Structure formats: structure tokens, C-alpha cells
Structure 1
């Protein structure tokens, strides 16, 4: 079972046990994910890669509670999310999960600051006055930290249409982090960005892990993007097919080439680099 070595020291932020997802029936059956066992370490930046149709987005969606498993278990920390009802899943996604998507999904009528703070507004504050004041102060301090880290101080009053793609994605990252979620799931976060803006966004995701103590799990098709992560998990045909620690663009490309060749011994060699 592939696992980051650091996962032995602290409980994993997310994990899958015999996790499967099947679409269709009979001859139209598609097994998008096939009995996957894997741990994702807390306080780490992990990338998930694989050919089109390999199951990488399906795995992320199941771990994030965005889709339901056909069988097996998915955990966020100690909480098993498979089997939770809709209300419990909604609360879990609101309180413990952050999302960054290829489409920035910012509200066009809101300023950058309002978009960032939206998850806190949706979650509400404690009713008791003292607790509410303390929560506001703590939230504002964290907001200021995120704004400084992401370089957004001079863009807070701008609406999305007044921001570049890279700036919009930085706002989306701040929004994903504002509630201090257990895990941030990023689905092709640089897919709509030019190479320079994409590199900036990836650097900010890495800084959020190394400097702010967050956990990021990212799906990407780009070896250069995956190289920003601490670890790359490779999928093929719905199954774990490789695991690369301290990846470089070259080692990721070697792993992907090995997947295409369907040569397990070559894959083992590439993953060990």
C-alpha cells in the first residue's frame, strides 16, 4: 500500500481502503476506480497523475465527498465519509475541506475580499458575543496572513473581472484556506493559466503547505506542475501504479512513460528515482 513515509509519524489527512467506483451495468460497466488503498500525509503536498481515464479525478472526488463510492471506504482524518448522509457531507465539506478548481468559481459581484471571506459567512459565527468577537479576531488575523502570503493586499477591492487569471486563482486559494480546512483539494488548478501565472499559483500552494501548515492534494496532467509537490501518486486503469517521492519533471515524465509502456519493472525503477 503506497504511503508517504511521514504518515507513520502522524495520522493521514485522507485515506482510501479498497475504494471503488463503478459506472453503468452489464457490458456498459466502467470501473473508474478499482479497490484503491492509499494514505495521504497531513502537512504535505501530494499530486495525483495518470493518463486520461485513469481515475485520478474520481479518487479526488471520492476523498472530498463530492461523489459516492460503489464500495470500500474513504476517510478524512478519522472520519469515514463513505455512508454519510447529504447533510453530514455538506457540513464536512463546509467545515473541513477546501477546493481549488480549474474554473476559479469566484462570485462576479463580490470583491476579492468578499470572495475570500465567503466560507466564513456561510459557516456563521458563534452566537455568544465574546466567542463571536474572538472568532472574528482570529479569522481576521488568518485573513491578513493569507493576503500577505498570496500577495493580494492591493487587489482586495477588485472584482474578478478586474483581476488577471493568476490573481483570480490566488483569491480562490485564499478562499479555500480561510476556514483552515483539514485538506485542500485542487483539481487542475493551473489549467486555465499561462505558464508564468501557473508557476506562481503552484508556488503559493507549496508555500501554504510549508509555511502555513496546510495539506494539499492536487490532480494535474502536467509533470512540471506535479514537480512542485512533495510526492506524486500515479494511477492507471483505476489502480495505484506508482509512487514518486521528491519528484522532478524528469522523474514524473519517466513514470508516465512507464505507465504508457505498461512495463511494471520500468515503473518501479522510475518511481524509485
Structure 2
């Protein structure tokens, strides 16, 4: 007898219920997400981790409305994204979700300020001056607004991308390996800014990462294996994250050896 998925709790920014994502058909079918139930509390910093192929980026893409699940539901606040047509889903992504990716995705011909306000310009809206100043101050770009991306360091470009994600006042920011192209110092700056986006600006952050040091900035880490959440850590440290990852890797290797599975 199967159990009903847990109800969505109050104060949850993003929730998935029975989330499944499959690619291919028949013998070529791959299950990337295997009936995932997970909540991400509002006003908190969450990290999602797991080995390569565990489904962590697929989970983020389905949660953010960038990919459609095979079945199951995703809720952003009280909105069931499955009930939205393409136009309303686009509006939800534009107005209620911010994105920060490993690649900065800035337009080289635009200044830093023009890149920051681009989502608003596309929507035909003007930035709120006070909020724009607050965001620019938070990411430390007040003296770089007239510079183009080619005139900025990698860390500065990622700060522009983060400001662009914040300028629309999103309910949740999805960050996919946001420090992957940065050196350790620049990466630490970006992680500190994501932390401040939660603590000072009241946003919710869901970050996919492979780095235990990055995960230690979060309030909570969700670990995926084979498309399913298998463990969580609250108040993580880099050492605890490393130990958990090592334990999961050992368990997975023992299971695969016992079944004769071949892992890549």
C-alpha cells in the first residue's frame, strides 16, 4: 500500500510532490528524478548535492519551470506550475524567480547596470530606484555600473548576474553551480552575497553545488542519489558535508558491486 505524499507545509517557498523525470523510452529509458517529495522553506538558504548523475540539476530545472516533469507537481508559493500555460509560466519565471548560473549569461554590449535591469526592461517596467540602489550596494557594484562585462573580473560578472536575479524582487533564487567558473576568493564573495540575499534581503535560495565549502554557507543541505533525496544536513559544515558525501559514495559503490552494476 503506497503512502500519500506529505502535504505542503506553511512557509514553504518551493515544494515538489511525486516529481518524476524520465528521458528516452523502453530499454533506453533513464529515470533522472524518481518520485521526489521535497520542501524548501521560505527565507532560507538551501543546497542540493549529490554525485554526478544524481539528478540535482534536473531537480532544479523542474522546480524553476525550465523543464517539465514527466509527472508530479511543483508549487512556487501557492502556485501549482502544472496549471500554468506557457505565457503564465513565463511570467512566473520573470516576476517571481531569479536565476544565477555557472556561466554569467551577460550581454557583452550592455553595461553592468543595463544587464542588471534587463529583465525589467524586457517586461516594460522601470526599476524601483531605492531597491536598485539597495541591490547594487549589496553586491558592491556602485563603482562598476558603467563598465561592460569584458571590463569586469569573473567575480564581478557573477555579482552583476546576482544583482540581475535580485532586481525583480523574486521569491526564490535558483543558483546552479554559481561558483564553478570562479577562483576561491571570488567564489567566496558570491556565496557571501547569496547568504546576504537571504539574511538581509529576505530571499529564498536553492543552490546546486558539488563543493562542500559552498554548501557550508547554506542552512540546510539535501543530498540526492539516483534521483531521490536520501539525506539532509541542517547547519552544515564543510567537514560534515564531506563525510556525508563519502558515506553516500561508499554505500552506492557497495550496492553497485553487490548487484554487478557498472558505474561510470
TM-score of the two chains, using structure 2 as the length reference? 0.90
Give the drift of 1:90. Answer: 0.8
Matched, 1:204 2:180: no
The equivalent residue for 1:56 is 56
Provide the C-alpha distance between the structure 2 equivalents of 1:45 and 1:11, rounded to a whole number of angstroms: 14
Gaps of 5+ in 1: 2-6, 126-134, 264-273
The 5 Å alignment of 1:27-66 reads 27-66=27-66
Give the drift of 1:79. Answer: 0.5
Give the drift of 1:258. Answer: 1.4
Tell whether the 8 Å contact from 1:14 to 1:40 is kept in structure 2 after alignment. Answer: yes
Tell whether the 8 Å contact from 1:54 to 1:237 is kept in structure 2 after alignment. Answer: yes
SS in 2 for 1:143: helix
The equivalent residue for 2:250 is 261
Tell whether the 8 Å contact from 1:120 to 1:179 is kept in structure 2 after alignment. Answer: yes
The equivalent residue for 2:138 is 149
Q: Deviations over 1:81-139 (max 9, x none)?
A: 124222121111111110000000001010000111111111223xxxxxxxxx75xx1
The equivalent residue for 1:251 is 240
Provide the C-alpha distance between the structure 1 equivalents of 2:82 and 2:18, rounded to a whole number of angstroms: 12
The 5 Å alignment of 1:79-94 reads 79-94=79-94
The equivalent residue for 2:181 is 192
Tell whether the 8 Å contact from 1:95 to 1:123 is kept in structure 2 after alignment. Answer: no
The equivalent residue for 2:217 is 228
Give the drift of 1:39. Answer: 0.4
Give the drift of 1:259. Answer: 1.0
Structure 1 residue ranges (4+ consecutive) displaced by more than 3 angstroms after TM superposition: none
Tell whether the 8 Å contact from 1:69 to 1:82 is kept in structure 2 after alignment. Answer: no
The equivalent residue for 2:72 is 72
Gaps of 5+ in 2: 253-264
The structure in which a higher percent of residues are helix is 1
Provide the C-alpha distance between the structure 2 equivalents of 1:262 and 1:181, rounded to a whole number of angstroms: 38
SS in 1 for 2:46: strand
Q: CA RMSD in A?
A: 1.4
Matched, 1:183 2:172: yes
TM-score of the two chains, using structure 1 as the length reference? 0.88
Tell whether the 8 Å contact from 1:166 to 1:193 is kept in structure 2 after alignment. Answer: yes
Tell whether the 8 Å contact from 1:17 to 1:38 is kept in structure 2 after alignment. Answer: yes
